[in-house]
Amino acid sequence: MAHGKRGECREVERTSTGVSGPRSGTPAAAAVATPKAEIAIDVALVKRLLQAQHPDLADAALEPVASGWDNAIFRLGDQLCVRLPRREASAALLANEQRWLPALSERLPLPIPSPVRMGIACLNYPWSWSVLPWLPGATADQAHLFAAEGVALARFLKALHTPAPSTAPRNPYRGVPLLQRAAAVEERMERLGRTRQSVGNPIRSIWRDALAAPIDVDDTWIHGDLHARNVLVHEQRLSAVIDWGDLCKGDCATDLAAVWMWLPNGESRAMAMAAYGGSTATWQRARGWAVLFGLVLLETGLTDNPPHAAMGERILRNLNDGL
């Protein structure tokens, strides 16, 4: 499996926390199901787009791979794939990747899906789209990872977490002070706490400590959505990091939550933390972001996505276990 089949954590937050989208201004009342595509995307459409804009690629074998919250993915020959937004809300995320990933890819120690070709709206398809490298591997929720790969994660994040230019985007859901997310998170925690043993006093204590922890670092580039289905594993080693639509500048603790999201055990988590360094306050905030991601994935996953729910349970279990 390669990039495309993954969880779309960002959108379930937007539509189910009352902080944006069609439910803006409403309470966080319920989890939502996967949204319908706003345009039908099939092999015939993608083939026509390639013929019109990249005719040298149009004769390669083309097959659908996945359709997530945001994008449809088609494998193109052996080395490439095509990624197309399936909703208007997703088009800006893909444009964000097109704008920034080419420069970032040059200095990161793991492959990322930097576009090799770009497409524009035409033939009744209304948004920009990308041709990307096909990155081999299984997502981290489906593959075993060596414990020592905690160090590889730390090295990747240290390379990413560098100052971003003044023109770099902000994101209202990622890299922000956790106090801005507190009301929605705590409502979700209360709902789940009535039915899930994984949301008990230890999780509530971790969350309180995270809210109290100061942001004691400058803003950096962050990925923003490093859950298990946005990381690829090949032969038990990290092989790529995918789905960069939430790329922005903000608090690096958002990404450090990955330590509890998919590293295999306490040994791996300890290795990652030692290799990365960072302050006590930063790691407290990172645990808080892990609580947020765990709750979002668990509650929304219980609606119509069992893999999301399993990821959420795993994150909360890891936090309950300490390292």
Sign of the Cα torsion 160, 163, 169, 170 reads positive
Q: What DSSP state is assigned to residue 125?
A: B
Render each residue's pLDDT in the chain as its tens digit; 323 residues.
344 444 445 544 543 332 222 222 333 445 556 678 899 999 999 999 999 999 999 999 999 998 877 899 999 999 999 999 999 999 999 999 999 999 999 999 999 999 999 999 998 999 999 999 999 999 999 999 999 999 999 999 999 999 999 999 999 999 999 999 999 999 999 999 999 989 999 999 999 999 999 999 999 999 999 999 999 999 999 999 999 999 999 999 999 999 999 999 999 999 999 999 999 999 999 999 999 999 999 999 998 889 999 999 999 999 999 87
**What are 67's strand-pairing partners?**
72
Owner of token pair 């969350």: 207
What's the CATH number for 9-136? 3.30.200.20
Please give the Cα distance from 107 to 208 (Å, whole number): 36
Do residues 46 and 82 lie in contact, with contact meaning Cβ atoms separated by under 8 Å?
yes
Do residues 242 and 225 lie in contact, with contact meaning Cβ atoms separated by under 8 Å?
no
- Position 33 scores a pLDDT of 62
- The number of beta carbons lying within 10 Å of the beta carbon of residue 48 is 15
pLDDT, one tens digit per residue, over 168-183 is 999 999 999 999 999 9
Domain spans in the chain, listed from the N-terminal domain onward: 9-136, 139-320
Nearest to 137 by CA among 227, 230, 229, 234: 234
pLDDT, one tens digit per residue, over 35-77 is 788 999 999 999 999 999 999 999 999 999 988 778 999 999 9
309-313 contacts at long range (C-beta below 8 A, 24 or more positions apart): 310/141, 311/7, 311/141, 311/227, 311/228, 311/229, 311/261, 311/262, 313/196, 313/198
pTM: 0.90
Q: How far is CA 169 from the centre of its chain?
A: 16
Please give the Cα distance from 259 to 268 (Å, whole number): 8
> Taking CA 63 as the corner, what is the angle to CA 113 and CA 130, rounded to the nearest 5 degrees?
30
Q: How far is CA 93 from the centre of its chain?
A: 12
How do beta strands 248-250 and 220-222 pair? antiparallel
Owner of token pair 């730390």: 154
Q: How far is CA 175 from the centre of its chain?
A: 13
Nearest to 5 by CA among 290, 244, 242, 223: 242
Residues 6+ apart with CB under 8 A from 321: 266
**DSSP states along 19-37:** SSGGGTTS------PPPPP
Please give the Cα distance from 26 to 107 (Å, whole number): 42
Do residues 58 and 114 lie in contact, with contact meaning Cβ atoms separated by under 8 Å?
no
Sign of the Cα torsion 121, 123, 129, 132 reads negative
Q: Does domain 139-320 have CATH number 3.90.1200.10?
A: yes
**DSSP states along 137-200:** -EETTSS---TTHHHHHHHHHHHH-SPPPTTSPP-TTSSS-GGGGHHHHHHHHHHHHTT-TTSS
H/E run at residue 88: helix 88-105
Question: Could you tell me the CA-to-CA distances from 256 to 54, 124, 154, 253 in Å, in that order?
Answer: 39, 41, 9, 5
